[in-house]
Structure formats: structure tokens, C-alpha cells
Amino acid sequence: MKAWWIVPVWKTLHYFAIALVVGIVGLVDLRIVGVAKGLPLRPLQRLMPWAVVAFAVAAASGYALLRLNPANSFGPPVNVAFAGKILFLLLIGLNDMLYFATGLKRQVDAVGAGERTSVSARIVAGVSLVLWIGVVYWSRMLTFLAGAI
């Protein structure tokens, strides 16, 4: 017998964790893009470990939700929104690998208040913002597209 409160608790935990991740990453990405140039980037990037913890909580709670109702995501047929969300998360991972592997992280850390980041850092941050918006969009569409197509 399943308790009625399990799914709402996991969903609440999942949504709060996603909000924390997107909030922190969005704040840092917006500053890299050029919003709020009066703020230095190094102190903002100190928030990123919190985003990593929140991402781990979101991944764990998402896995729990997937185990509680696998048909909602895996179908049959496969939920297009779930596939879109996973695709966007994979693209975010590739974008982050690019950010670290090319040395953009070190470059961005050196940017002080009032300074601009490089064009390549702004592109990577802009792509990150778009991809995170896509993750949130596809997350919300999960319910509406379950069993569609």
C-alpha cells in the first residue's frame, strides 16, 4: 500500500532543488552575459557548490519520481517531454565541460566589478541560460504530454 503523501513530497523536493539550481546558475550566467556589471564574478561563483548540491538533490528526487511512476516518462509511448528534458540536461553537461576544458572558468574568475567577460564566455553563458529554460519547460510539459503521440 502506497502512502498518498509520498509523490507530493518528492515532487516538492524536486521543484525546490530545480529552483535553487536554476536560480544560482541563472544569476551567474546573467552576470557573465553582462547583466549587473557592478558585481564581481568571483563571489557569485562561490554559490556554485550550492547549485551542485541542489542538482544532486534534484537528480535523486527525479530518480525517485521516475521509479514511482515509470510509465509517465518511459511510456509506452516514450514521453516526448521526458526525452527533451534529458536531452537538454545532456547538452548542459557538454556546455559545462566546454566551459571548464577551454579555461573559460579561470578567465571568468578574474573578471572584476565593472569589467566585461570575453565573447566566448558570454556565448557559453547564454547557451546555458537557454538550456536551463528548456529543462524547466520540458519538466512542466511532462504532465501534459504523458501518453501523447
Q: What would the DSSP string read from start to end of 69-105?
A: -THHHH-SSPPHHHHHHHHHHHHHHHHHHHHHHTTHH
DSSP 118: P
> What cell numbers appear for 111 in the block?
573578471
CA 126 – CA 64 distance, rounded (Å): 31
Put simply, whether the predicted model's pTM sits higher than 0.85 gets the answer: yes
Phi, psi of 84 (to 5 degrees): -65, -45
Instruction: Dump pLDDT digits (tens) for 89-123.
Output: 999 999 999 999 999 999 998 888 889 999 999 99
